[in-house]
Amino acid sequence: MIFPELSFAAHGSFRHTHRRLGADVLLFAGLVVLLNLHLVGIGSPLSWVFFPQALIEGQWWRLLTHPLVHVSPYHLFLDGGAFVLLYHGLSEKRAGRKLAYVGVAGLSSLAGAMAFAPQLGTTGLCGLSGIAHGLMAVSGLEMIGDGVHRRTGWITFGCVAGKSLYEVYRGEVVFEFLHMGMCGVPLAACHLGGVVGATLLFWGFQLNDRLVSCPTN
């Protein structure tokens, strides 16, 4: 496993941390359930998937809903499992910052698809994989910074960044054939977008913390 190790002792009591993270996960879980009822035959996902033309027509909510929609139970299990593990495993415990990572990675993954995936207009975009890639990058950066798991951090960040760059270069997701169409039509560029957006936000938070901690004359 290359996910960061959890240390509740370093971030307050276990009970307090568990309660806060549980509420976050419960919120996401509730939204995911509501937006994936089509998987049990209720409703249609087409109202929530991102399509550029729909956004032009004023359907702005698709910017928020598209990462939570999935095309199959397998797709949901794959993306959702990775998201929960990575989100819960972040060393950062401030809810505002964690949600910012999710939001920025979601929008930057969409920006990556819009910039490098011309088929977006016909396939649409949904799923948490872009956000999960962004959270994986943040996990690696956190480990690099803690001084204890620096090597693991570099391996983690290098793998997710290298994989994402390679996918954009090849125009296809690594091991896409293993999914057997159960993830729809993956757009490789959204993974790189998630990594870039989350990485820039992490560095922004680091810079802000240094400025705040720097004594003023």
pLDDT (0 to 100) of residue 51 = 94
Residue 187 has pLDDT above 90, yes or no: no
pLDDT (0 to 100) of residue 216 = 58
Tell me what percent of the residues of the chain surpass a pLDDT of 70: 85
Supply 64's token pair: 């928020």
Question: pLDDT higher for 86 or 175?
Answer: 86
Which domains does the chain show, CATH number per domain? 14-213 (1.20.1540.10)
Residue range 169-194: mean pLDDT, rounded: 77
C-alpha distances out from residue 196 to 50, 173, 201, 205, Å: 20, 17, 9, 14
pLDDT 10s digits, 58-68: 999 999 999 99
pLDDT (0 to 100) of residue 12 = 36
pLDDT (0 to 100) of residue 63 = 94
pLDDT 10s digits, 113-155: 998 888 898 889 999 999 999 999 999 999 998 877 899 999 9
Task: Say which residues have a Cβ less than 8 Å from residue 167's Cβ, sequence separation at least 6.
Answer: 173, 174, 188, 189, 191, 192
Averaged confidence pLDDT in the chain: 84
pLDDT 10s digits, 161-177: 999 999 888 877 776 65
50 φ, ψ (degrees, to nearest 5)? -80, 125
DSSP code at position 178: G
pLDDT (0 to 100) of residue 36 = 92
Residue 11 has pLDDT above 50, yes or no: no
178 pLDDT band (50/70/90 cuts)? low
pLDDT (0 to 100) of residue 215 = 63
pTM of the model: 0.84
